[in-house]
Amino acid sequence: MEFHYAKRLESFQAGIFAILNEKKEELIRQGREVYNLSVGTPDFKPAPHVMEAVYKACQDPENYKYSIVDMPELLEAVVGHYERRYGVHIEPEEIMSINGSQEGMAHIALALCDAGDVVLVPNPGYPIFSIGPFLCGAEPVTYDLKPENNFMPDFDSIPEEVARKAKFIIVSYPLNPVCTAADDFVYEELIRFAEKYDIIVLHDNAYSDIIYDGRKGGSFLEYEGAKDVGVEFYSLSKSYNLTGARISFVIGNKDIIRKFKTVRSQIDYGVFKPVQYGAIAALNGPQDAVIAQCEEYERRNKALCGGLRSIGWNVPDSEGTMFVWAPIPEGYTSSETFCMELADKTGVICTPGSSFGSLGEGYVRFALVRDVPTMEKIVHVIDESGILKK
- pLDDT at residue number 11: 75
Q: Are 234 and 376 found together in one domain?
A: no
Answer whether residue 236 is part of any domain: yes
Answer whether residue 8 is part of any domain: no
Rounded distance, CA 31 to CA 38, Å?
A: 19
Strand spans (E) along 229-378: 230-235, 248-252, 323-327, 348-349, 351-352, 363-367
Q: Are 35 and 97 found together in one domain?
A: no
- pLDDT at residue number 13: 63
Q: Are 331 and 376 found together in one domain?
A: yes
CB 64 within 8 A of CB 214: no
Rounded distance, CA 38 to CA 335, Å?
A: 13
Answer whether residue 94 is part of any domain: yes
Asked which of 284, 312, 329 is the last residue of a domain, the reply is 284
Asked which of 239, 266, 284 is the last residue of a domain, the reply is 284
- pLDDT at residue number 299: 98
Q: Are 222 and 347 found together in one domain?
A: no
Answer whether residue 4 is part of any domain: no
Q: Are 117 and 242 found together in one domain?
A: yes
- pLDDT at residue number 134: 94
Q: Are 75 and 192 found together in one domain?
A: yes
Q: Are 141 and 58 found together in one domain?
A: yes
Q: Are 97 and 214 found together in one domain?
A: yes
Number of domains in the chain: 2
pLDDT 10s per residue in the chain (390 long)? Answer: 889 888 888 777 666 778 888 989 999 999 999 999 998 899 999 999 999 999 999 999 999 999 999 999 999 999 999 999 999 999 999 999 999 999 999 999 999 999 999 999 999 999 999 999 999 899 999 999 999 999 999 999 999 999 999 999 999 999 999 999 999 999 999 999 999 999 999 999 999 999 999 999 999 999 999 999 999 999 999 999 999 999 999 999 999 999 999 999 999 999 999 999 999 999 999 999 999 999 999 999 999 999 999 999 999 999 999 999 999 999 999 999 999 999 999 999 999 999 999 999 999 999 999 999 999 999 999 999 999 986
- pLDDT at residue number 7: 86
Any bridge partners for residue 232, and if so which? 203, 251
CATH at 175 = 3.40.640.10
Residue in 114, 75, 98, 53 with CA at minimum distance from that of residue 204? 98
Tally Cβ neighbours within 10 Å of residue 127.
18
Q: Are 87 and 227 found together in one domain?
A: yes
Answer whether residue 1 is part of any domain: no
Q: Are 243 and 99 found together in one domain?
A: yes
C-alpha torsion angle, residues 14, 16, 21, 26 (rounded to 10): 80
Range of the domain at 343: 13-42+288-389
Tally Cβ neighbours within 10 Å of residue 374.
16
